[in-house]
Chain A
Amino acid sequence: MQAETGSMDVEVVILGTGLREAILAAALSKAGFTVAHLDYNEYYGGDDASLSLDELRKWARERSEPPHTSNYLSSQRARFTAVSSSWEAVHAQARHFSISLSPTTLPSVGPLIDSLMASGSSRYGGFKLLERVALYDKPGYVKMVPGSKEDVFKSSELGLLDKRRLMRFLMFATSEFEDKPELVGHEDTPFVDFLRQTFSLNEGASIAVAYALAFNTTTSDTTLPALQRIRRYLRSAGRYGPSPFLVGHYGGAGEVAQGFCRLSAVHGGIYILGREVTSITTSEIPAPPSSTASPRTRYTLALQDFPEQLSCDVLISTHDYLDPSLKSQATRISSDRPSQAIARCIAVIDKPIVFRSSQFSNSQGASEDETDGSTQVDTALLIFPPSCLEAGSSTAAANVLISGPQAYAAPEGHFLLHLSMPLVEPTSRTAEELLKPYLDATLSMADAGRETSASESQPIRPSHTLFYVQHLPTPPSPSDASQSLGSLFVPPSDETMLSELSDSAATNAETTFWKVVEKLKEIRRIKRESAETEGDKSVEEPVVDSFWPPISDTTVVDQDW
Chain B
Amino acid sequence: MSKQFQFKLVLLGESAVGKSSLVLRFVKDQFDDYRESTIGAAFLTQTVSLDDGTTVKFEIWDTAGQERYKSLAPMYYRNANCAVVVYDITQTASLEKARSWIRELQRQADPSIVIALCGNKSDLSARRQVSQEEAKKYADEEGLMWGETSAKSGEGVADIFTAIAKKLPLTAPPSARGGAARPGASGKPGGVDLNKQANAAGANEPCNC
Contact = CB atoms under 8 A, between A and B. Distances in A.
Contacts of A268: 39, 65
A561 B25 CA distance: 12
Could you tell me the dominant secondary structure of chain A's interface residues? Answer: mixed
Contacts of A249: 183, 188, 191
Given A124-B181, A242-B202, A266 B42 contact: yes
B183 A375 contact: no
Nearest to A551: B42
A262 B75 contact: yes
Interface in A72-129: 113, 116-117, 120, 122-129
A532 interface: no
B201 A241 contact: yes
Contacts of B62: 266
A43 B42 CA distance: 21
A375 B207 CA distance: 11
Interface string B185-202: 000111110111110011
Nearest to B189: A406
B50 interface: no
A425 interface: no
Interface string B132-174: 0000000000000000000000000000000000000000000
A473 interface: no
Interface residues of B, number: 47
A302 B194 CA distance: 41
Contacts of B64: 262, 265-266
Contacts of A559: 44
In this complex, which of B182, B190, B197 has the most chain A Cβ atoms within 10 angstroms of its Cβ? Answer: B190
A115 to B, nearest CB: 11
B41 A561 contact: yes
A366 B208 contact: yes
Interface in A362-376: 366-369, 375
Interface stretch (A271-279, A393-401, A431-439, A497-505): A271-279
A119 to B, nearest CB: 10
B89 to A, nearest CB: 19
Contacts of A560: 40-44
A137 interface: no
A266 B194 contact: no
B69 A267 contact: no
Nearest to B207: A406
Nearest to A275: B69
A369 B39 CA distance: 50
Contacts of A369: 208-209
A203 interface: no
Nearest to A130: B206
Contact of A273 (B40, B71, B76, B78): B71
Contact of B65 (A258, A270, A557): A270
Interface string A120-160: 10111111110100000000000000001010000000000
Interface in A271-292: 271-274
Contact of A129 (B68, B70, B190, B196): B190
A227 interface: no
A379 B42 CA distance: 30
Contacts of A120: 42
A150 B200 CA distance: 13
Contacts of A1: 15
A448 to B, nearest CB: 20
B188 A126 contact: yes
Contacts of A263: 42
Contacts of A274: 70-71
B77 to A, nearest CB: 11
A128 B38 CA distance: 32
Contacts of A558: 44-45
Contacts of A267: 39-40
Contact of B190 (A128, A262, A557): A128
A555 B42 contact: yes
A560 B182 CA distance: 14
B45 A123 contact: no
A366 B183 contact: no
A46 interface: no
B71 A123 contact: no
Contacts of A44: 73
B3 interface: no
The 5 closest A-B CB pairs, nearest first, are A241-B204, A265-B64, A271-B71, A258-B73, A126-B183
Given A123-B43, A129-B204, A265-B65, 8 more contacts: A123-B182, A127-B183, A129-B192, A262-B73, A266-B42, A375-B208, A378-B206, A559-B44
Interface of A: 1, 43-44, 113, 116-117, 120, 122-129, 131, 148, 150, 237-242, 246, 249-250, 255, 258-259, 261-263, 265-268, 270-274, 366-369, 375, 378-379, 406, 555, 557-561
9 contacts: A126-B188, A126-B192, A129-B190, A240-B192, A241-B205, A262-B66, A266-B64, A267-B39, A557-B42
